[in-house]
């Protein structure tokens, strides 16, 4: 394996509300999924987040979601044909303006929350989102789970794709994540989560909740920046990877 990318959802604060530990996490990640103002973020937050990423050498990607600020993009919405395309292209364009202002490229696109979860299972929705990314730029990497509808859509459209691994979520044998709220769905211990990432990077497998081994060789690992121990965990994870001789690098260096 050439290396591992560490991605994190950032820039989700808005107005007077602060969400996440962006500044601390940014010291250890390699790719930032920046909210585009619909589920979180606002123009001022987007500007600060992109500028911080440039300063710290972190690559920027768009993190488009449903137009649902009050629900933080975590509620299902029924869309008409073409809406997902328009929503995605609009939000990517908004973030691109700030990237252009800072003189940096946009590296990838990762959908947010329920927009992401629904499209992972719905090929029609995934295709609309991927077509928007394609029409923005064919060089944008689609970041999503291996074997998902996103993966299929990206391959059918000839777009660069990166599989995403979740360090702190338990997996089912079919490759899906164990539903939040079920026993064992979350990997609470930081060292255990780091060890899962090391195993995935070295062996291309993860031990599922039922004890079976699932082949899953991903190039990017999702970490979260919205809990009290986020910075300590990301620091531990990066140190564990580098200590094992596994390079930590952005997607643009690995795809």
Sign of CA dihedral 28, 33, 38, 41: positive
- This prediction has a pTM of 0.95
- Of 171, 134, 136, 167, residue with least CA distance to 153: 134
Q: Residue 119 pLDDT > 80, yes or no?
A: yes
Q: Render pLDDT for 196-215 as a digit per residue (tens, 0 to 9).
A: 999 999 999 999 999 999 99
What local confidence, expressed as pLDDT, does residue 1 receive?
66
Which residues are within 8 A (CB) of 227 and not within 5 positions of it... i.e. 6 or more apart? none
Domains in the chain, please, with CATH? 5-166+220-226+245-254 (3.20.20.370)
Query: What would the mean pLDDT of 176-186 be, rounded to a whole number?
Result: 87
Q: Render pLDDT for 70-91 as a digit per residue (tens, 0 to 9).
A: 999 999 999 999 999 999 999 9
Q: What confidence tier does 94 reach under pLDDT thresholds 50, 70, 90?
A: very high
Q: Residue 217 pLDDT > 80, yes or no?
A: yes
């Amino acid at each position: 394996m050439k290396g591992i990318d560490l991605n994190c959802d950032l820039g989700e604060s808005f107005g007077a509300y602060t969400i996440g530990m962006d500044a601390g996490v940014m010291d250890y990640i390699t790719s930032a999924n920046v909210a585009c103002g619909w589920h979180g973020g606002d123009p001022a937050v987007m500007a600060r987040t992109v500028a911080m990423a440039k300063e710290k050498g972190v690559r920027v990607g768009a993190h488009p979601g449903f137009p649902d600020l009050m629900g933080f993009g975590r509620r299902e919405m029924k869309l008409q044909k073409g809406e997902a395309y328009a929503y995605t292209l609009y939000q990517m364009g908004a973030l691109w303006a700030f990237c252009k202002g800072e003189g940096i490229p946009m590296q990838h696109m990762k959908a947010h929350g329920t927009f992401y979860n629904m499209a992972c299972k719905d090929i029609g929705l995934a295709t609309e989102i991927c077509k928007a990314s394609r029409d923005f730029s064919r060089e944008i990497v689609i970041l999503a789970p291996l074997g998902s509808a996103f993966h299929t859509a990206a391959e059918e459209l000839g777009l660069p794709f990166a599989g995403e691994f979740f360090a702190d979520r338990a997996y089912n044998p079919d490759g899906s994540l164990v539903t939040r709220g079920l026993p064992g769905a979350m990997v609470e211990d930081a060292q255990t989560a780091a060890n899962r990432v090391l195993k995935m990077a070295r062996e291309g497998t993860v031990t599922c909740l039922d004890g079976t081994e699932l082949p899953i060789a991903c190039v990017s690992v999702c970490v979260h920046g919205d809990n009290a121990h986020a910075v300590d965990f990301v620091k531990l994870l990066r140190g564990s990877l580098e200590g094992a001789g596994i390079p930590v690098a952005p997607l643009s260096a690995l795809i």
